[in-house]
Homo-oligomer: A and B are copies of this chain.
Amino acid sequence: MSQTTPQSDKTDRIVEQATRHFAEHGFEATKLSEVARDAGVAVGTIYLRYKSKNELLIAVMEAVETRFDTALQSKHLWEIEWPERFGHVMQAMFNQAAKEQNLVELMALVPFALRDGYRSGTRLRQSIAAHIADGQQRGQLRNDVDPAIAASLAHGMVEGAMSELMANPQADPTEMIEELTVAATRWLAVS
């Protein structure tokens, strides 16, 4: 089903290594020569696919957001009732954030590199907003809250939890997810 031409193979390896380097060292400290070396291609090959380092970063960030999105749009998730769904949504975001590790931090960095052309997190917040709107339509979430605003606050809470976890490695992830769920439920569920 999925075609793997030699080209797409290289593209995949480039994005994979770029993701790793951006996550580990940040944007500026990532050297295209090292990305190329680790991807097993020549520097020039990267430039056949992306016009600049900036564009490569955009491609990486879009891939990250797509993965978040996919996690949030799994059919299974949309079938769960509220407020139980909170736990699952939080868990999904959290899992993804944990996998992507520093890329979550990196997303905050993008605006500096690319004042224009890229607004990180937008798609992600839209997916969360869609979940919340769904809950409102089902009458299971309070409808006195703008889904977009609720989504950005919820997104911020997950990032806050990740941030605490990174600053404080002995914190307990399970406890944090639970607290996230409790907070969201009290705040948004119909009483």
Q: Chain B's nearest CB lies how many Å from the CB of A130?
A: 15
**Does A160 contact B164, Cβ atoms closer than 8 Å?**
no
- Supposing A152-B161, A153-B183, A159-B160 touch, asked if A112 and B112 sit within 8 A by C-beta, the answer is no
**Does B149 contact A179, Cβ atoms closer than 8 Å?**
yes
> Is A186 on the interface with B (CB-CB < 8 A)?
yes
Copies in the complex: 4
When distances are taken between beta carbons in the complex, the residues of chain B under 8 Å from A155 are 160, 163
Contacts from A to B (Cβ < 8 Å):
25-29, 102, 105, 108-109, 111-113, 119, 121-122, 125, 145-146, 148-150, 152-161, 163-164, 166-168, 171, 175-176, 179-180, 182-183, 186-187
Instruction: Identify 30 residue pairs between A and B in the complex whose beta-carbon atoms are under 8 Å apart, listed by A's number.
Output: A25-B112, A27-B112, A102-B112, A105-B111, A105-B112, A108-B109, A109-B112, A111-B166, A122-B167, A125-B164, A145-B179, A146-B179, A149-B164, A150-B179, A152-B160, A152-B163, A152-B164, A153-B157, A153-B160, A153-B161, A153-B180, A153-B183, A154-B160, A155-B163, A156-B156, A156-B159, A156-B160, A156-B161, A157-B160, A186-B186
